[in-house]
Structure 1
Amino acid sequence: MLRGFATVSFYAADMHAAREWYTELLGLEPYFAVPNADNPDYLEWRFGDFQCELGIVNARYARQAVGNGPAGAIIHWHVDDLEATLDRLLSLGATLLEPITERGGANSGFRTAFVTDPFDNIIGIMNNPHYLEILAELKG
């Protein structure tokens, strides 16, 4: 049984550029690097309400072609301010794939947008009322 998101992994050919870009986006350094921080083939950050894990893997380990256009599973990251987050991503060099779009009806509260990072990984951002309901329940 699937129990929840644990780690999402993206690929990048330039690991140093990926570390800089995601460190700027997340506002923190990766906590884990293999084989080491100076020459990483894998970097990992933990962040957010549930300490989600984002891993960046050196593209040479990819099973598919990397860097030939947007690719990857789309993970929708809940954000409180969709417009501001989209603006920040674009200011950091992300490319707009799909603008802010209403989902589930005009008043459902579910809105999404998609960008690609500079390494062609798709990033989905979302206002998700369900996420906030679950978080409120957990906080009691």
Structure 2
Amino acid sequence: MEKRFLGLRTTIYKVTDLDKAKKWYTEVFETQPYFDEPFYVGFNIAGYELGLQPEEPSSDKTDNVVTYWGVENVETEYKRLLEHGATEHEAPQNVGGEIVVATVRDPWGNVVGLIYNPEFQL
């Protein structure tokens, strides 16, 4: 049977200041963008696409969909993102077994998730 869905590929964060967001994401993900144009900045994060797109200022950011980026230590990365100017959204919490999650808001209001899940395998 042919698979119709092949898995997640890209997470897009919309930002009002693309240059500042590019700098912020470069610092917190410790990765330079591989694609850098005025309409889109793309990062390769361990084989997954993190994209930044410019948008007009808006207070309509939603958090009904969250992408969780895998990390080895949620507490450490959560604190580091806060030190880089993110704001608290959901503090680190164990959600079962050894799985720990947390979320922050980037300086543009986007929710960025962190997850430690030793069971996840590609």
Provide TM-score, normalisation by structure 1. Answer: 0.78
Structure 1 outlier segments of 4+, above 4 Å: none
Determine the structure 1 residue equivalent to 2:45: 47
Determine the structure 1 residue equivalent to 2:117: 128
Q: What does residue range 15-30 of structure 1 map to in structure 2 within 5 Å?
A: 15-30=18-33
Q: Over aligned residues, Cα RMSD in angstroms?
A: 1.6
- Letter in structure 2 aligned against 1:52: Y
Q: What is the aligned length?
A: 118
Residue 59, structure 1, aligned to residue 55, structure 2:
yes
Partner of 1:123, secondary structure, is strand
Give % identity. Answer: 31
Determine the structure 2 residue equivalent to 1:114: 103
Query: Which structure has the highest strand share of the two?
Result: 2
Give me the whole-angstrom Cα distance separating, in 2, the residues matched to 1:67 and 1:89: 22
Give me the whole-angstrom Cα distance separating, in 1, the residues matched to 2:106 and 2:60: 11
Q: Deviations over 1:74-125 (max 9, x none)?
A: 0011110111111110010000101111113xxx111111100001110110
After superposition, the Cα gap between the structure-2 partners of 1:2 and 1:130, relative to the gap in structure 1 and judged at 3 Å, is farther
Give me the whole-angstrom Cα distance separating, in 2, the residues matched to 1:12 and 1:124: 17
Give me the whole-angstrom Cα distance separating, in 2, the residues matched to 1:130 and 1:81: 14
Determine the structure 2 residue equivalent to 1:6: 9
Provide TM-score, normalisation by structure 2. Answer: 0.88
- Letter in structure 1 aligned against 2:30: G
Determine the structure 2 residue equivalent to 1:37: none
| Contact 1:9 1:57 survives alignment (8 Å) | yes
Which consecutive unaligned segments of at least 5 residues does structure 2 have?
A: none
Residue 71, structure 1, aligned to residue 74, structure 2:
no
